[in-house]
């Protein structure tokens, strides 16, 4: 078997592997057939495991995350359906502007991958694909046609018994699996795959029930990490053992602080969520669900609403005015407004720390994050002050980052 290059492996991971962190699935082939999927929650998806998948020694399956780079339509033939290629043609008609990547599966079905122009929130991306498929007459139901990511394990493409198909006649583009992988890599490398673009003004036509469903607007902006965790919990559920307590606390805070729900609604939503999203990861729930329900009531009861900080985006923290001695001194210097502002803040920093002046200079240590508070783009301004002789760099306290945090500046004249 030819050796897979590092660049080929990198492009494969960027395209089909959403993340290397658990959970993911592993499946082996035994003498009596396929073994059941084994969910891995305590180790990462390494390059060695991916190579073993591509070399046909095992299968790996990936789980959806809050973000996705692709949509997958799983067309099954578990019950002897004879309309597999008719369904595939309708899927092809649902995305005429995109290059579909269909792959065979060991069970005789087909996984059709649709790559996205840019990473998107999983839920609106799946909803957009569902709308397009519905308009083409595709009936989504388990065991017939399913959409991924959905929180379940999905077999990664081009493992054992998986070939890339030609969408013209639904036959393999190459008889050899490694040849299929190399041809796919050439398509990706040369930009021959047209990707699906989700309109920015698209909003999924979803009416969530009053409960554990997500009720905030999903956009393609840059969310804070906390909201990404909330989205993953609501869509996927528990993904590893010993995470139930943390998940319940986060969701209770989200429902109370963000959604503004009362205690009764929070309790109902959390109970519904753990009943449907525990994913077998909670031993306490498996032994006795009522114990977990009592814990939820305890969490909701002790939620302190006084700790919620009301955020006013229009209100900014006022900066303390500079001392009069510094203001009068920097006003007489031949500097720009930004240079005067940064120099004045640095002088006030040293004055507040009561640094002793030596030959008219004081030495201060100012972290870079503090300088960013003075001026967001302080670097060119600080360089200009150094060139003009008002600031001198001294000891370097940030060797690992290559940044100098020690400076000598003019002392405030008395």
Domain end call among 128, 156, 189: 189
Q: What's the mean pLDDT in 405-414?
A: 74
* Least confident segment among 47-61, 215-229, 330-344: 215-229
Tell how many helices (H) and how many strands (E) occur in the chain. Answer: 14, 13
CB 27 within 8 A of CB 58: yes
pLDDT at 395: 61
Residue with the bigger pLDDT between 370 and 113: it is 113
pLDDT at 325: 83
Q: Is the pLDDT of residue 129 over 70?
A: yes
Residues 97 and 140 reside in one and the same domain: yes
Residues 56 and 183 reside in one and the same domain: yes
Residue 121 included in any domain:
yes
Residues 301 and 338 reside in one and the same domain: no
Classified as helix, coil or strand, 223 is coil
CB 368 within 8 A of CB 398: yes
- State the burial class of residue 182 (Cβ atoms within 10 Å of its Cβ: 0-12, 13-18, 19+): middle
Residue 44 included in any domain:
yes
Residues 49 and 171 reside in one and the same domain: yes
pLDDT at 103: 96
Residue 318 included in any domain:
no
Is the peptide bond between 149 and the residue preceding it cis, with omega within 30 degrees of 0?
yes
Residues 250 and 373 reside in one and the same domain: no
Is the peptide bond between 37 and the residue preceding it cis, with omega within 30 degrees of 0?
no
Which helix (H) or strand (E) segment is 70 a member of?
strand 67-75
Residues 368 and 275 reside in one and the same domain: no
CB 350 within 8 A of CB 409: yes
Tens-place pLDDT, residues 351-369: 777 666 777 788 888 877 7
Q: If you search the block for the tokens 């500079």, which residue do you land on?
A: 322
CA dihedral 260, 262, 268, 272 (to 10 degrees): 10
Secondary structure in 3-state letters for 5-17? CHHHHHHHHHHHC
Report d(CA 179, CA 197) in Å as an integer.
29
Q: Is the pLDDT of residue 388 over 70?
A: yes
Tens-place pLDDT, residues 214-259: 333 333 343 456 667 887 888 788 888 878 888 888 888 888 777 7
Residues 103 and 163 reside in one and the same domain: yes
Tens-place pLDDT, residues 172-195: 999 999 999 999 999 999 989 999
Q: What is the CATH number of the domain that holds 10?
A: 3.90.920.10
Task: Classify residue 256 by its DSSP letter.
Answer: I
Q: What's the mean pLDDT in 116-139?
A: 88
Residues 255 and 303 reside in one and the same domain: yes
Residue 331 included in any domain:
yes
Task: Classify residue 358 by its DSSP letter.
Answer: B
Residue 11 included in any domain:
yes
- What confidence tier does 30 reach under pLDDT thresholds 50, 70, 90? low
CA 174 to each of CA 47, 53, 59, 184: distance values in angstroms, whole numbers, following the listed order: 25, 18, 20, 10
Domain hosting 130: range is: 6-189
Give me the chain's average pLDDT, please. 81
Task: Classify residue 65 by its DSSP letter.
Answer: -
Q: What are phi and psi of 115, to 5 degrees?
A: -80, 140
Q: Is the pLDDT of residue 281 over 80?
A: yes
Q: What's the mean pLDDT in 113-138?
A: 89
- Read off the tokens for 173: 């583009």
Q: What are phi and psi of 399, to 5 degrees?
A: -60, -40
Q: If you search the block for the tokens 């699906």, which residue do you land on?
A: 196
Angle between helix axes 324-331 and 337-352 (nearest 10 degrees) is 150
- State the burial class of residue 121 (Cβ atoms within 10 Å of its Cβ: 0-12, 13-18, 19+): buried
Domain end call among 307, 338, 355: 307
- Residue 13: other Cβ atoms inside 10 A: 16
pLDDT at 154: 92
Q: How many domains does the structure of the chain reveal?
A: 3
Q: What is the CATH number of the domain that holds 403?
A: 1.10.10
CB 231 within 8 A of CB 66: yes
Q: Which positions ≥6 away from 169 have C-beta within 8 Å?
A: none
pLDDT at 3: 78
Domain end call among 248, 280, 307: 307
Q: Is the pLDDT of residue 66 over 50?
A: yes
Residues 297 and 333 reside in one and the same domain: no
Residues 50 and 97 reside in one and the same domain: yes
Residues 156 and 263 reside in one and the same domain: no
Residue 197 included in any domain:
no
Residue 161 included in any domain:
yes
Residue 330 included in any domain:
yes
Residues 280 and 368 reside in one and the same domain: no
């Amino acid at each position: 078997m030819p050796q897979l290059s590092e660049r080929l492996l990198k492009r494969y991971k960027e395209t089909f592997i959403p993340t290397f962190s658990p959970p993911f699935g592993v499946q082996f082939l035994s003498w009596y057939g396929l073994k059941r999927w084994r969910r891995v929650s305590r180790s990462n998806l390494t390059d060695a495991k991916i190579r073993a998948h591509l070399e046909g020694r095992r299968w790996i399956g990936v789980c959806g995350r809050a973000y996705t780079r692709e949509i997958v339509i799983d067309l099954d033939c578990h019950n002897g359906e004879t309309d597999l290629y008719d369904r595939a043609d309708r899927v092809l008609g649902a995305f005429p502007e995109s290059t579909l990547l269909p792959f065979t599966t060991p069970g005789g079905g087909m996984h059709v991958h649709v790559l996205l122009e840019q990473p998107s929130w999983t839920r609106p991306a799946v909803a957009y694909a569902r709308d397009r498929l519905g308009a083409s007459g595709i009936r989504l139901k388990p065991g017939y046609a399913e959409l991924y990511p959905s929180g379940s394990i999905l077999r990664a493409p081009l493992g054992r018994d998986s070939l890339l198909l030609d969408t013209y006649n639904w036959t393999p583009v190459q008889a050899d699996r490694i040849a299929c992988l190399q041809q796919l890599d050439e398509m990706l490398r040369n930009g021959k795959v047209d990707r699906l673009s989700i309109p920015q003004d698209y909003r999924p036509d979803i009416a969530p029930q009053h409960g554990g469903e997500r009720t905030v607007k999903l956009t393609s902006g840059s969310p804070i990490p906390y909201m990404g965790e909330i989205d993953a919990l609501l869509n996927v559920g528990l993904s590893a053992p010993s995470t139930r307590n943390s998940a319940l606390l986060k969701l209770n805070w989200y429902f109370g602080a963000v959604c503004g729900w009362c205690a009764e609604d929070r309790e109902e939503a959390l109970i519904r969520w753990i009943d449907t999203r525990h994913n077998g990861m909670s031993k306490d729930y498996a032994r006795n669900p009522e114990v977990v329900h009592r814990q939820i009531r305890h969490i909701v009861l002790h939620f302190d609403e006084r700790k919620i900080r009301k955020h006013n985006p229009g209100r900014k923290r006022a900066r303390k005015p500079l001392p009069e001695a510094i203001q009068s001194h920097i006003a007489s210097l031949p500097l720009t407004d930004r240079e005067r502002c940064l120099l004045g803040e640095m002088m006030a920093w040293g004055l507040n720390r009561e640094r002793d002046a030596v030959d008219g200079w004081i030495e201060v240590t100012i972290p870079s994050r503090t300088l960013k508070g003075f001026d967001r783009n302080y670097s060119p301004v600080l360089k200009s002050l150094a060139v003009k002789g008002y600031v001198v760099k001294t000891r370097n306290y940030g060797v690992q980052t290559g940044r100098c945090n020690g400076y000598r500046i003019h002392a405030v004249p008395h």
